[in-house]
Amino acid sequence: MVKKFIVGVIGAGRIGKLHIENLLGKVPDISLKIVSDVNVDDKLKQWADERGILKLTTDTNEIFTDPEINSIIIASSTDTHTRYIQEAANAKKNIFCEKPIDVDINRIKKTLEVVKNEGVKLMVGFNRRFDRNFMRVHEAVISGQVGNPQIIKITSRDPAPPPIEYIKISGGIFLDMTIHDWDMARYQAGSEVEEVYASGAVLVDPAIGKAGDIDTAVAVLRFKNGAIGIIDNTRQAVYGYDQRVEILGSKGCVLADNEATNTVRIYTAECTNIDKIPYFFLERYMESYATELKYFFNCLQNNQDPTPSGEDGLQNVLVAMAAQKSFKENRPVKISEVDK
């Protein structure tokens, strides 16, 4: 018998609205009951009315205490995540939470303990695992088609840096931007990171450096299964949103290249041209956000533990912390040094 899930959403910013749109139009067997946000203004009210959302509130307790709601989507600011996860778990509600869980290791561990003790399910929103290209790469790896992973190469470059005010509160490039790549590297390697060496510079905008961050970075990872990972990031690749993954294995190689916005090629006497790659992350990953929510509710339907799990969320933050320490101290750092 198919179970109906009654859902509350906390956070109606850009990603929260995206999740709401997917819940309303692309995820079966769910009913969205309440949306909570810190700022319920006329603009949000109109947006909700146009989509048939019956209840908006600034009080998250209305979601936690509603006996009908059995699942909660958390898309609020990072500094609220652990508190809301714990409150949801204490209310016996299953949880999908946007990344990262937190930037404090002890708070994350305490939160995961609460989730475990309450017996609810928690999934963390690392949506790139649900990109069809990266899923196919993963399939080639876990099936043994390319053999044992030896080198994992990830290129992740934004087309333009975010506002400086955002940089100041982002937690730094390794927690804000590379967090997706730590997860992708672990996902494709099928192993935990043992050691990281990170190097970086301010090559795009001096204001980013003045804000205490870097805008260009490279990291080398050593995994417990012996594989080596290489990640490169920049806040500004002027040609578009550059997202590539390559795995070299003992039997071959698999790679996912950028997708052009169309398949058209123009041939002339001077050159061959194709159109640009996507410029905005939602152009590139829109489908993956719907796929991850479908997967989450399918796991609930079948009483399966979803991944990326809370433990995945913890491990990704640990790698980020090790990378920060490595960059500051200019040396390789073992994960055990920051996991205390």
Q: Each residue of 209-245: pLDDT tens digit? A: 999 999 999 999 999 999 999 999 999 999 999 999 9
User: End-to-end CA distance of the chain, in Å?
Assistant: 45
Weakest mean pLDDT among 98-112, 135-149, 273-287, 291-305: 273-287
Report the b/e string of 176-195 with b at 16+ CB within 10 A: bbbbbbbbbbbbbbbbebbb
Weakest mean pLDDT among 75-79, 232-236, 291-295: 75-79
Taking 90 as the threshold, does the pLDDT of residue 336 lie above it? Answer: yes
Number of Cβ atoms within 10 Å of the Cβ of 226: 12
Q: pLDDT tens digits for 31-41?
A: 999 999 999 99
Is cis: bond before 278, omega within 30 of 0? no
Mean pLDDT, rounded, for 93-99: 97
- For the question of whether the overall pTM of this predicted structure is more than 0.75, the answer is yes
Mean confidence (pLDDT) of the chain: 96
Instruction: Give all strands (DSSP E) within the chain, no chain letters.
Output: 5-10, 30-36, 56-57, 71-74, 94-98, 122-125, 149-157, 193-201, 216-223, 228-234, 242-249, 252-256, 265-267, 272-274, 333-334
| Pairing mode of beta strands 5-10, 30-36 | parallel
Position 324 confidence tier, pLDDT thresholds 50, 70, 90: very high
The pLDDT of residue 113 is 98
Q: pLDDT tens digits for 150-194?
A: 999 999 999 999 999 999 988 999 999 999 999 999 999 999 999
Weakest mean pLDDT among 113-117, 213-217, 271-275: 271-275
Distance CA 284, CA 136 (A): 16
Query: Which tokens hold the place of 273?
Result: 């041209």
Number of Cβ atoms within 10 Å of the Cβ of 104: 14
The pLDDT of residue 45 is 95
Taking 90 as the threshold, does the pLDDT of residue 1 lie above it? Answer: no
The pLDDT of residue 281 is 84
Taking 80 as the threshold, does the pLDDT of residue 2 lie above it? Answer: no
Query: Which tokens hold the place of 281?
Result: 């992350």
The pLDDT of residue 17 is 97
Residues of the chain with pLDDT > 90, as a percent, come to: 91
Angle at which helix 281-301 crosses helix 14-25, to 10 degrees, equals: 50
